[in-house]
Amino acid sequence: MMLQKAHITEQQLKTAQAQVEMTASELEKSRDLSRVIVHVDMDAFYAAVEMRDCPDLKDKPMAVGSMSMLSTSNYHARKYGVRAAMPGFIAKKLCPHLVIVPCNFDKYKSVSNEIREIFADYDPQFQPVSLDEAYLDFTEHLELRISWPEASRTHRYSSWKQPEHQQESEAKEGFSPVLFEDSPSSSQSLSNSQTADATGKTTEVFGTSVEEAVREMRFRIEQKTMLTASAGIAPNMMLAKVCSDKNKPNGQYRLASNREAVMDFIQNLPVRKVYCILVQKNHKWSSVHPFKMRTCNCVATRFRFSVLFLCAGFRHREGERKDAECSRHQTFKELNRPDEQLSLCRELCEDLAQDLKKEDLKVLLV
């Protein structure tokens, strides 16, 4: 691809530029900022369920799975680098005190059913992605909600969790304070706008804005399951998904529905976050990886150049699979013998790989 790049002519660049402008204006016409999309995702899902059901685990680094493979870890364990898809015995080396508890899929499935009941109240057509997350279109809910009486926006604390006692001296906004009415970000506590009930804070009132509606949904999830969720609010699913990660755990983030805000948000995002195809080394559109374009802005400013490579992707074959029954790890070992790896690296980075030794491989492949 570097060789091809050297032979690009002015004429080719001009043609590419024209293509880009056509595509861009077509796409701009179809930009839709009218929907309010929410992506909700439970925090450290399997691990959180296990911690809820075994309070001894609360303050310990823990993970769910086995010595062979972990499905996820709690946030405490993540500080040590313990992650999903990591073998338990390796995780133990990173974090010797790690507690590993086995999976209980039935429990995760039933919690999933509980949260889906709540999702359906906001969007009956919600799209589940996995047991712990879903996309919701809040547009219609919000249109109705705007004229809802306060009673319909009031929710009870479950007996297991009353709100924290608040300082009397702390000035309160008064009745039904509406939080985040127009603030772009927040990871505020869910329990700071309780009504000043004479009998004592057993309910919570939520406003009519998107932020309030989403905060309400997360509040209901927490009261019902004793588990927390995070959420992203944006004009489309991709952006909502990226937003839901931003204030995780137990937070939410809204990206405003205007072109400028979206452009600004996208600018410095790692490409990896939005369009993984571009960094798949074997994908036919894989023009980003070889040329080290890491951020979206980089792709955008060099788009004219990128377009020339859209159809010029490369592939390499990793060899034939010999034993369909073996584990993923075994397969990897079979297909990537050191000598195969060496020749592959030499092929892929000619100039770098002349003096390549086997010890270098590990680093390169990582």
Ligand X SMILES: Nc1ncnc2c1ncn2[C@H]1C[C@H](O)[C@@H](COP(=O)(O)OP(=O)(O)OP(=O)(O)O)O1
Instruction: Please name every residue paired with 156 in a beta bridge, in sequence order, or none if there are none.
Output: 203
CA distance 108 to 72: 13
- Residues with Cβ within 8 Å of 162's Cβ and at least 6 positions away in sequence, in order, are 201, 202
Binding-site size for Mg ion (CB under 5 A) equals 5
- The H or E element that residue 135 is part of is strand 133-137
Q: Is 212 in the site for Mg ion (CB under 5 A)?
A: no
Structure tokens given for 226: 């004793």
How far is CA 356 from each of CA 150, 292, 319, rounded to the nearest angstrom? 69, 21, 21
Q: Is 246 in the site for DNA (CB under 7 A)?
A: no
Cα atoms in the 13 Å half-sphere on the side-chain side of 272: 5
Among 37, 38, 39, 41, binds Mg ion (CB under 5 A): 41
CB of 103 to ligand X, least distance (A): 9
- Scan residues 224-253 and list those touching ligand X (CB under 6 A): 248-249
Strand 37-42 versus strand 229-234 pairing type: antiparallel
How far is CA 17 from each of CA 24, 51, 222, 286, rounded to the nearest angstrom? 10, 55, 51, 19
Catalytic annotation, residues: 133
Q: Which does 312 bind (CB under 5 to 8 A by kind): Mg ion, DNA, ligand X, none?
A: none
Site string for ligand X, 64-83 (x = CB under 6 A): -------xx-----------
Nearer to DNA (CB atom), residue 124 or residue 319? 319
Among 50, 123, 132, 222, binds ligand X (CB under 6 A): 132
Q: Is 312 in the site for DNA (CB under 7 A)?
A: no
Residue 73 three-state SS? strand
CA distance 46 to 111: 10
Which region among 42-50, 212-220, 316-324, 358-366 touches ligand X (by CB under 6 A)? 42-50
Among 279, 342, 361, 364, binds DNA (CB under 7 A): 279
Q: Please give the angle made by the CA atoms of 152, 153 and 158, to the nearest 5 degrees.
A: 100
Q: Is 115 in the site for Mg ion (CB under 5 A)?
A: no
CA distance 5 to 326: 41
Q: Is 39 in the site for ligand X (CB under 6 A)?
A: no
CB of 132 to ligand X, least distance (A): 4
CB of 84 to ligand X, least distance (A): 4
- Scan residues 96-135 and list those touching DNA (CB under 7 A): 129-133
Q: Is 133 in the site for Mg ion (CB under 5 A)?
A: yes
CA distance 193 to 178: 8
Site string for ligand X, 91-130 (x = CB under 6 A): ---------------------------------------x
Among 49, 71, 74, 225, binds DNA (CB under 7 A): 71
Phi-psi region of 20 (alpha: psi -120 to 50; beta: other; left: phi over 0): alpha
CA distance 127 to 121: 13
How far is CA 243 from each of CA 16, 36, 254, 314, rounded to the nearest angstrom? 32, 13, 7, 32
Q: Is 68 in the site for DNA (CB under 7 A)?
A: yes
Q: What is the largest CA-CA distance in the chain?
A: 78
Q: Is 339 in the site for DNA (CB under 7 A)?
A: no
Among 156, 259, 329, 346, binds DNA (CB under 7 A): 329
CB of 137 to Mg ion, least distance (A): 18
Where do contacts with DNA occur on this chain (CB under 7 A)?
Answer: 67-69, 71, 84-85, 87, 89-90, 129-133, 276-277, 279-285, 313, 315, 317-321, 327-330
Where do contacts with ligand X occur on this chain (CB under 6 A)?
Answer: 41-46, 71-72, 84-85, 130, 132-133, 248-249
